[in-house]
Amino acid sequence: MKKQDMNRDWIATARTLSQALPYLQRYEGATVVIKLGGHAMGSDEAMESFARDVVLMQQVGVKPVVVHGGGPMINKLLADLNIQSEFVNGKRVTDKATVEVVEMVLSGLVNKRIVQAINGQGGRAVGISGKDANLMICEQTHPDLGFVGTPVDMDPSIIKELGDENLIPVIAPVGAGRNGETFNVNGDTAAGAIAGALKADRLLLLTDVSGVKGADGAVLTSLNSAQIKQLTEEGIIAGGMIPKTETALDALKDGVRAVVILDGRAPNACLLELYTEHGAGSLIRDTEPRIKPHEA
């Protein structure tokens, strides 16, 4: 019989699993909404890794809900169709032709790719959009933006029903208007509205940056609402991070326990955030900041 020596990698793996126990217990039965976008959607390998993490999360008792974007894919199809698209203050101006492409890409191509990836890892995912079962009723955000919508009336019952059947909802950020319109909804905004409607334990916003950074450029691992407002007034939080932190603050007001802005480029980012002591990004909640990301 061949003797197999224990090596440091095996011991480290066992130690990591052992140390994860309190976090596994902490998040059992918790609803976690994940906004997927950026690098995590950019390759088959990244998608496979993300899907495996989501299936693992469900396997250990979490109720994951995935909300996704798809801007690069929309841009490509618009270009292929020779449809011009412009942006105002970072938001896509969406005319009737554009919103039809947006729905095709988000509810079709992108949504089903994520569903297939999760199912390929042994999960049972179902793709829907904000239009299904009146999940997300929207009003026009601004006339200059055309068919860009802001969620104003949420009915998360379909998400709860899917979760009760151990199905993983994968949601495209397309909403319905009260007069039958179709609205393009910013992915972060949709994820925040859905998390708020579910009173989720966590909203994870996967981005292509490592988190919210302070004046010295270092990632701030723990923030509260007052600190975010101050950093924004001082111009330290700027550019594309402003709408993400605004989404976080709105979600907290709607009853989400905490929001994490984290780097979706990091392998196993969601698992690192939920199941390790150090976390993986900037955790935002309405109470005083804490030293360890998982004391809440």
Q: Give the catalytic positions in this structure.
A: 35, 38, 71, 188, 244
Q: Which residue has the tokens 């801007």?
A: 71
* CA pair distance 154, 175, nearest whole angstrom: 10
Q: Is 239 annotated as a binding residue?
A: no
Whether 277 and 19 have beta carbons less than 8 Å apart is answered as: yes
* CA pair distance 20, 207, nearest whole angstrom: 24
Q: Is 70 annotated as a binding residue?
A: yes
Q: At what angle do helices 111-120 and 44-59 cross, to 10 degrees?
A: 60
Q: Is 92 annotated as a binding residue?
A: yes
Q: Is 184 annotated as a binding residue?
A: yes
Question: Dihedral of CA 201/70/139/136: which sign?
Answer: negative
What does the DSSP assignment read for 98-133?
Answer: HHHHHHIIIIIIIHHHHHHHHHHTT--EEEEETTGG
* CA pair distance 246, 238, nearest whole angstrom: 11
Closest CA to 208 of 36, 33, 45, 32: 36
Provide the b/e sequence for 110-144 (b: ≥16 CB within 10 Å): bbebbbebbeebebebbbbbbbbeebbbbeebeee
Binding site for substrate, by residue number, is 70-71, 92, 184
Binding site, by residue number, is 70-71, 92, 184
